[in-house]
Structure 1
Amino acid sequence: MNNIKEVDVLIIGAGPAGSIAAREASKNGVKTLIIDKKSEIGTPKRCGEGIMDGVLEKVGIEPDERWIARHIDGARLVAPDNTSAWFTSENLETPSTGIILERKVFDKHVTMDAIRNGAEVMLKTEATSITRKDNYLLVDIISFNQKYNQIKAKIVIGADGPEGRVGSWMGLNTKVPLSEMESGAQYEMTNLKMEKNDTIEFYFGSVAPGGYAWIFPKGYDTANVGIDVSGVKGEKTALEYLDDFIANNEETKDGQIVEVNVGGNPLCGVFDKIIADNFMLVGDAAGCVSPITGGGIDTGLESGMIAGQIAAKAIKEDNLSEENLQEYADYVDENIGKKFKKLITVRDFIYNLEDEDMNEYIGAIANANITKLSTKALLKAMIKVSPRKLLKLRKLL
């Protein structure tokens, strides 16, 4: 005999996107459940943990020093020949500041906020399949306490990350081409000798074929040190490239590893279809990942917030059709998808540059009088080096 739990909204995945969707659905008066196959929310982090200032306020999260590892003052772009372009409060009229999160604490905070607004959470609970029944979805689960083996939901929100399966169960094409899937590896390290331990650093060129390496400070001598490499351009594994980077970088070569994280990172942009009857995808599962940086906390939170609101609205209207959920897909396309399509053009240009060209372009950026850090400002500096070569990118200005 099946033990079935009935809810209005079921969210599969307790990351930031899923949890904020639960917060919004619950506070709008619908019965909401989050399930997650892990035993601890926030682990493994698989993330550089950085976000720009203003992101949290936009989605109604008040910053809390308990989960802020480091306040960041700008960025450093590093060429293969070690030429550096610095963008900090020392040379920017408009500061480009942000924070490095402690995701193990932050993710729990967002989930707890959902709980305080009425959501329920079940950990060590894995969804194994979805079946459509009349006007609802029936989700088979395996749960450690074995109290339920199925969940009946009016709407299911897939928030199961970049390698999620839920979307494909619902007939959506969420397969990422190998050419647009990055292999990622990251260490949290200590005993580093960072030139500025409040500035995030990006390293480009053959050090990370088809991607980049990074150092995101979390303390005076501690940082997330990671790398993303193309699934088709790299000749070694991401871990091998990362180890080589660390061994040859003055800031990291004497450091020690205290945590290891690996995984895939889709850079394809938002998927063509992220909704179906009774169903929505959010965050990384929807492709809400920057095609240039691979970052997705900000767009994950934004997509999750809107999905939770629209799910609650659809349930109150008793209209769970794809047509009625189109409002969510339209929002994501207008506010996230269109921007990402432009960034794909930039990505394809930058990540195909030879080291010599990369040296020239970052050198131009370093010598340009950039007072506000933005993709447009960087492109303008690069175009001055080679207007003809960058003709395609001029359209993005």
Structure 2
Amino acid sequence: MNIKEVDVLIIGAGPAGSLAAREASKNGAKTLIIDKKSEIGTPKRCAEGIMSGVLERVHVTPDERWIARKIDGARIVSPNNTSAWFTPETLETPATGIILERKVFDKHMTMDAIREGAEVMIKTEALSMKREGDGYLVDIKSFNKEYNQIKAHIVIGADGPEGHVARWAELNTKVPLAEMESGLQYEMTNLKMKNNSVIQFFFGSVAPGGYAWIFPKGYDTANVGIDISGIKAEKSAVKYLNDFIANCDETKDGQIVEINAGGNPLCGIFDKIITDNVMLVGDAAGCVSPITGGGIDTALESGMIAGRVAAKAIKNRDYSEEKLQEYADYIDSHLGKKFKKYIAIRDVLYNSSDEDLDEYITALANANITKLSTKSLIKVVMKISPRKLFKLRKILL
């Protein structure tokens, strides 16, 4: 057996894994990332959008090479096709962001980790792991066949919602069916978008228990996708998405150039995301918005903090759950509490009838909203139906 020994092993080279590697290595830990794919960043698993300020908070300098489109607003569409537009013409505080080219972005995040001293092995799959001494021994199947085992003091699971690290470490990350969305997305071209600088959300029976979206990547190119509830939907995600595309004037003449599919957990942060020698980050930890299913921003943040905590634990030669608790506490205070409020919003939004959604979105369309935020939207809809939306009052407090 050829064994490679490191301080920190990160399984998964997505944004969370690469940020964890960057920070762990920068702070002195001998760090290795492995990823089972032969190309980092493929296949993409999201609509690729992030809001302004996210990258700066995790010390990533925007690079035009991985920015597909700059965004300056949003559109929310009701079942009866009423639109609430939020653009520079209506907002005092612009709602800006970018659409990433994830295939390029993810590679650049990994390259940044390499520049800080991390090592990367692609086309390397973790097969199992078991506790040995003061760490874990991980069996791998690697393209270069130089090693078949890796020994690490700390293992960071950045292997997504279908990952294995949590199960191997006996951390319960099972997602209830009611909180698992089925997602499907096409990258399409030849679209006729009304405004190719805004992201668009479509709610109601077009996507039961979820929503459809159009996220522009160019003047006539966009990610067009759908998330549906596994217990509310009566058809497959393919059928719902194809029906949406056929009935939407902006997409009906488009052509598909890429297909992506996967599950989105909307349960919020899992109850336990650390144990002795192990941390979970990104989607593997439940760092996914319970409303939208978006998770690039929270993946980056969770990875950054996990990497720093891991490096500190390595310096102190203490890899216990107690030592890693600093990471779990950060995630709970910065994401967990916020996500619990988002779950309340999700439950109201995705359980509303088409008629209710028409009423809510019409109110948004007619309101004078000058700053786009979750709280500002809730304040508007609360005024038209305070009893029905009573459970959302705590979010405003």
TM-score, structure 1 as length reference: 0.99
Report what 1:364 is aligned to: 363
State the one-letter code of the partner of 1:281: L
Report what 2:49 is aligned to: 50
State the one-letter code of the partner of 1:173: N
- Aligned partners of 1:236 and 1:159: how far apart in 2? 32
Deviations 1:39-78 (A, max 9, x none): 0000000110000000001001000111000000110000
Deviation beyond 4 Å, 4+ runs, structure 1: none
Q: Would you say 1:25 and 2:27 are equivalent positions?
A: no
- Aligned partners of 1:163 and 1:88: how far apart in 2? 37
Pairing of 1:113-262 with structure 2 (within 5 A): 113-262=112-261
State the one-letter code of the partner of 1:114: A
Deviations 1:305-354 (A, max 9, x none): 00000000000001100001000000000001110000000000000111
Shift of 1:360: 0.4
Pairing of 1:11-22 with structure 2 (within 5 A): 11-22=10-21
Q: Would you say 1:90 and 2:89 are equivalent positions?
A: yes
Report what 2:103 is aligned to: 104
Shift of 1:233: 0.4
Shift of 1:162: 1.4
Report what 1:62 is aligned to: 61
- Aligned partners of 1:274 and 1:388: how far apart in 2? 37
Give secondary structure in 2 for the equivalent of 1:298. Answer: helix
The size of the alignment, in residue pairs, is 396
The unaligned stretches of length 5 or more in structure 2 are none
Give secondary structure in 2 for the equivalent of 1:89. Answer: coil
- Aligned partners of 1:160 and 1:36: how far apart in 2? 8
Give secondary structure in 2 for the equivalent of 1:384. Answer: helix
State the one-letter code of the partner of 1:386: S
Please report the RMSD computed on the Cα atoms of aligned residues, expressed in angstroms.
Answer: 0.5
State the one-letter code of the partner of 1:24: E
Pairing of 1:258-269 with structure 2 (within 5 A): 258-269=257-268
Give secondary structure in 2 for the equivalent of 1:121. Answer: strand
Shift of 1:239: 1.2
Give secondary structure in 1 for the equivalent of 2:264. Answer: strand
Q: Would you say 1:4 and 2:3 are equivalent positions?
A: yes
Q: Would you say 1:340 and 2:339 are equivalent positions?
A: yes
Give secondary structure in 2 for the equivalent of 1:151. Answer: strand
- Aligned partners of 2:394 and 2:100: how far apart in 1? 35
Q: Would you say 1:306 and 2:302 are equivalent positions?
A: no
- Aligned partners of 1:162 and 1:224: how far apart in 2? 21
- Aligned partners of 1:138 and 1:247: how far apart in 2? 51
Shift of 1:237: 1.0
- Aligned partners of 1:366 and 1:149: how far apart in 2? 59
State the one-letter code of the partner of 1:317: N
Report what 2:350 is aligned to: 351
Report what 2:280 is aligned to: 281
Shift of 1:144: 1.5
- Aligned partners of 2:393 and 2:365: how far apart in 1? 20
- Aligned partners of 1:123 and 1:239: how far apart in 2? 31
Shift of 1:394: 1.0
Shift of 1:135: 0.7
- Aligned partners of 2:109 and 2:63: how far apart in 1? 11
Shift of 1:172: 0.3
- Aligned partners of 1:238 and 1:165: how far apart in 2? 25
State the one-letter code of the partner of 2:253: D
- Aligned partners of 1:165 and 1:154: how far apart in 2? 18
- Aligned partners of 2:163 and 2:290: how far apart in 1? 18
- Aligned partners of 1:262 and 1:188: how far apart in 2? 11
